[in-house]
Amino acid sequence: MSTLSPNQYTAPRGRIACVGMGMTLGSHLTPLARSHIEQADVVFAALSDPLVEAWLEQMNANVRSLQPYYGNGTDKPRMQTYREWADLMMDEVRAGRSVCAVFYGHPGIFAWTPHEVIRRAREEGYEAVMEPGISSEDCLYADVGFDPANGCQHYEASQMVFCNVPINSAAYLVLWQAGLVGDISSKRFTTGPEYRQVLVDVLAAEYPPQHEIIIYRGATLPIEQPTIRRIALRDLSKVDVRPDETVVIPPARQYTPNRVARARLKALDAAWQQELCTTNEKPQENQHA
């Protein structure tokens, strides 16, 4: 029999885990992310496909879709929706519940709410973790077939038209959410060809109009294949681009050698080789003397 008085009992401490389910249904979810989903008191689903939500409900009976908070897609800014998501999650955490928020891909990439809710929870003293998932970026490297270590820049497409962004045309340039480039209202889910033409004109300062670019969309269902379209840069405004498609621009030039730095490195190598030779020429001390 417990000897604790009623005042000594403590209410359960709330916690939150933001997890990524990866891009392809059923294939990318990690065991740790699945564990968070299965053990949570409530699961928030930031997923746009009802099929994926139904699959999530097989792991936890208390799944709450966040899609209705978008409204009709034009009546309020997306940032307002994302703040509402964070408020909902924090309400459950403060009520002492274990919360899991599930996002496509990696929860920390192109997702404002996970970073915000984790910041708030930790600030208020609650346990909060983020579990990574396979992102669309990861799939991009595998499907298109290039190594970012050779040089790669990533921007939301709208940044290219809103700001003066320096471009390294010797590296790959990846532009996310190109289908809604230039939407300053944050109320739309697509913009028209006129907006993409502005993007083309900005890029034309670094790339020739005939430069081949790639329009990419990764697979989200096991029965799907990734979509890879190759067109000339000048034709970007002439084709339809979905909000979930990514524009990839391969390098247009070679890197130029840094001759000053290379000369310094050559001198350092020569000095190192000389020191090595000098060390090897020294007589060895008689350890048995």
Please identify every residue annotated as catalytic.
78, 82, 104
Euclidean distance between CA atoms 37 and 235, whole angstroms: 44
First to last CA, the chain: 76
List strand residue ranges (DSSP E) for the chain, in order.
Answer: 15-20, 42-46, 63-65, 98-103, 127-131, 152-156, 172-176, 212-217, 227-232, 246-249
C-alpha torsion 98→102→105→110, nearest 10: -90
- 86 CA to centre of own chain: 19
Residue 66: both structure tokens together: 């966040």
Helix (H, G, I), strand (E, B) or coil at 9: coil
Computed over its alpha carbons, how large is the radius of gyration of the chain? Answer: 26
Shortest CA distance to 208 belongs to which of 165, 259, 251, 179? 251
Cβ atoms of 85 and 93 closer than 8 Å: no
Euclidean distance between CA atoms 174 and 245, whole angstroms: 11
Q: 10 Å Cβ neighbour count for 212?
A: 12
Mutual angle of helices 112-123 and 78-94, in 10-degree steps = 30
Euclidean distance between CA atoms 19 and 165, whole angstroms: 31
